[in-house]
């Protein structure tokens, strides 16, 4: 056998060994990985109905809804909801039950299982255009919802 043929076989064997070393733990991790939560932003009322007078009532009629369509509850503790300007709401010790929706209001209020309050004195979701972005407690992107100029075809989505 020539030296070059021996080198080729050696290289092939090394590559094969590398592949099996790399793929085995990866597929094992795939099996071990828990079902990824399918939590999503399901609705946004970015323009509070009526005149925007900055009253707490009006602020609370501006909201984002987040839905968990899965069967299992998802712990949202440390998850964030952010607008385009980086204004951030952080979920604090909140668990979203399976097959349920929570409404996050902009104004002040007492948190319940179905309604959370950002306790702001100003609107956060722009009437013209904005983006609501949901990230988990590791900062990983979960979902976003855009309206206004971001939307293909323009105009509002409702
Ligand atoms: Ca309005
Ligand atoms: Ca905004």
| pLDDT attached to residue 74 | 97
Q: Which ligand is nearest to the CA of 87?
A: 2
The pTM for the full model equals 0.73
Give the CATH number of the domain where residue 80 resides: 2.60.40.1260
CA of 68 to the centre of ligand 2 (A): 24
Within a domain: 10: yes
Within a domain: 86: yes
Q: Which ligand is nearest to the CA of 123?
A: 2
Q: Which ligand is nearest to the CA of 53?
A: 1
- Looking at the fold, whether 128 and 54 belong to one and the same domain comes out as yes
Number of domains making up the chain:
2
83 half-sphere exposure, CB direction, 13 A CA radius: 19
Within a domain: 122: yes
pLDDT in tens, the chain (158 residues): 666 666 666 665 555 555 444 544 555 555 555 666 699 999 999 999 999 999 999 999 999 999 999 999 999 999 999 999 999 999 999 999 999 999 999 999 999 999 999 999 999 999 999 999 999 999 999 999 999 975 554 444 44
CA of 105 to the centre of ligand 2 (A): 14
Range of the domain at 99: 40-150
- Looking at the fold, whether 58 and 13 belong to one and the same domain comes out as no
Within a domain: 155: no
- Looking at the fold, whether 112 and 68 belong to one and the same domain comes out as yes
């Amino acid at each position: 056998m020539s030296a070059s043929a021996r080198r080729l076989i050696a290289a092939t064997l090394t590559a094969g060994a590398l592949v099996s070393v790399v793929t085995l733990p990866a597929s094992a991790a795939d099996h071990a990985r828990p079902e990824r939560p399918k939590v999503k932003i399901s609705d946004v009322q970015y323009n509070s109905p009526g005149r925007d007078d900055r009253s707490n009532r009006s602020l609370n009629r501006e909201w984002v809804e987040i839905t968990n369509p899965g069967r299992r509850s998802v712990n949202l503790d440390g998850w964030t909801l952010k607008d385009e300007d980086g204004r951030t709401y952080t979920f604090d010790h909140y668990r979203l039950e399976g097959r349920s929706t929570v409404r996050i209001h902009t104004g002040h209020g007492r948190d319940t299982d179905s309604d959370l309050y950002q306790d702001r004195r100003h609107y956060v979701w722009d009437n013209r255009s904005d983006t609501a972005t949901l990230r988990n407690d590791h900062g990983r992107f979960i979902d976003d919802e855009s309206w206004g100029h971001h939307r293909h075809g323009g105009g509002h989505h409702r």
